[in-house]
Amino acid sequence: MRLVRYADDLVAMHADLSQLLKAKSFLEEWLAPMGLKLKESKTRILHSLEPYEGEAGFDFLGCTIRQFATGERRGKKNPDGSRSGFITLTYPSKQSLKRHSEAIKNLIHRYENAPQEALIGILNPIIRGWANYFASENASASFRKMDHLLFLKLLSWAKRRHVNKSSRWICHKYWKVDWGKWDFSAGKECRLDLHREVKIKIHIKVKGNKSPYDGDWLYWATRIARHPQVGTRTGKLLKKQQGKCNWCNLHFNKEDQLETDHILPLSKGGKDGLDNLQLLHRHCHHQKTAVDLYEVKGNKERCS
C-alpha cells in the first residue's frame, strides 16, 4: 500500500479494495483514543479510472487526479513494453475553480468605484499566484476558462460605471487591442495579467526510489530549482549552493522558509548580483543580519 500525506490530508492507494477497507478501519481505530476521527465529507473510497460510489478520480491539494482510457496502443508504457491503455491527468479541481472565481468576483465588487489601475494592481498577484500553483498540472483548459469568466466580470464592472454608454465605447475605454489580443490596461505600464500567460511546466517524475532523505542533495536541489513556485534567482542559488544553507551548512528541506541574503550588505557597498547573494534559512538570515548590525555598530563606536 502507498500512502501520501500532506498536513492532515492523506491518500491511501492499493489495487485491492479489501485492503483499502482494512486500512480505513485501522485508521479509525488508531485515531479514536486521541479523540479524532476521519471527516466523513472528505473520506471516500474510489477508483482512479472507473466510477465507484460517484465519479472516478479524487481531489488532493486543490487538484483532481484521474485516469482516462486511451485505447490499447496508447497510454503509459509498462515494464514489459505493453501499453496500460490509460493516462493519468491532474488538473485544478472544481472547488479550486469555484473558490478562485469567487475571490476574483469579490475583489472586483470591492473595487467597484476604484480607478482601473488600482483594480489591476490588486488582481495581478492573485491571478499570478493561482496560475503558478497549477502551472505543473494539465491546466490549460482551466486557465482559458478562468480568463473568459474574468473578462465577463470585468465587462460587468465597466458597464456599471458607465450605464449610458454602449458596449463598444466601454471596450475601447478599458481594453486595448494588440495584435488581435485584448488587454485590460490603463496604459503601457499597467495591464492585467492573464491566467493563460503562465506557461505550463512539465512535471518530472522522481527517479526510481529516490527520497529527500537519501543524501543526494544535488539531485533534490536541482528538482526544487525547477519547481514552478521557485523563482529563477532562487533556483540558481539552490544549484550553486548544492541545496545547503551557507550559514549553518545544513541541507534545505522543501518545508523550510528560504530567504535571499546579500553577502556584503548593500549598506557597505555590496551589489545586488548573484555573486553577492546567498540563500539562507529564515532563522539563519536573522542571525546573520544581527551579526552585520553588530559589526556596523562596532565600527561606528570605534570611529567616534
Label residue 300 by pLDDT band (50, 70, 90): low
What does the pLDDT read at residue 262? 93
Own/partner pairs for 39-43, CB < 8 Å, 24+ apart? none
Average of per-residue pLDDT across 184-199? 90
Q: Which residues contact 3 (CB under 8 A, 6 or more apart)?
A: 10, 11, 12, 13
- Cβ distance 252 to 223 under 8 Å? no
What does the pLDDT read at residue 82? 75
Average of per-residue pLDDT across 93-122? 95
Label residue 80 by pLDDT band (50, 70, 90): confident
What does the pLDDT read at residue 227? 61
What does the pLDDT read at residue 226? 64
- Residue 63: how many other CB atoms lie within 10 Å: 21
Domain boundaries, the chain: 2-93, 95-197, 217-302
Residue 163 has pLDDT above 70, yes or no: yes
Query: Is domain 217-302 classified as CATH 1.25.40?
Result: no
Better-scored residue on pLDDT, 196 or 252: 196
Distance (Å, rounded) from C-alpha 99 to C-alpha 122? 17
- Minimum mean pLDDT range among 156-160, 219-223, 243-247: 219-223
Residue 85 has pLDDT above 70, yes or no: yes
Q: What is the mean pLDDT of the chain?
A: 86
pTM given for the model: 0.69
User: Among 192, 198, 202, which residue's Cα sits nearest to residue 154?
Assistant: 192
Label residue 158 by pLDDT band (50, 70, 90): very high
Average of per-residue pLDDT across 145-173? 94
CA distances from 293 to 16, 272, 287, 288, 301 (A): 61, 19, 10, 9, 12
Residue 46 has pLDDT above 90, yes or no: no
Distance (Å, rounded) from C-alpha 1 to C-alpha 22? 11
What does the pLDDT read at residue 169? 94
Per-residue pLDDT of 113-150, as tens digits, reads: 999 999 999 999 999 999 999 998 999 999 999 999 99
What does the pLDDT read at residue 224? 66
Per-residue pLDDT of 200-231, as tens digits, reads: 887 777 877 787 677 676 677 667 666 666 67
Q: Which residues pair with 125 in a beta bridge?
A: none
- State the virtual CA torsion across 139, 144, 147, 148 in degrees, nearest 10: -140
What does the pLDDT read at residue 104? 96
Average of per-residue pLDDT across 236-248? 88
Residue 301 has pLDDT above 60, yes or no: no
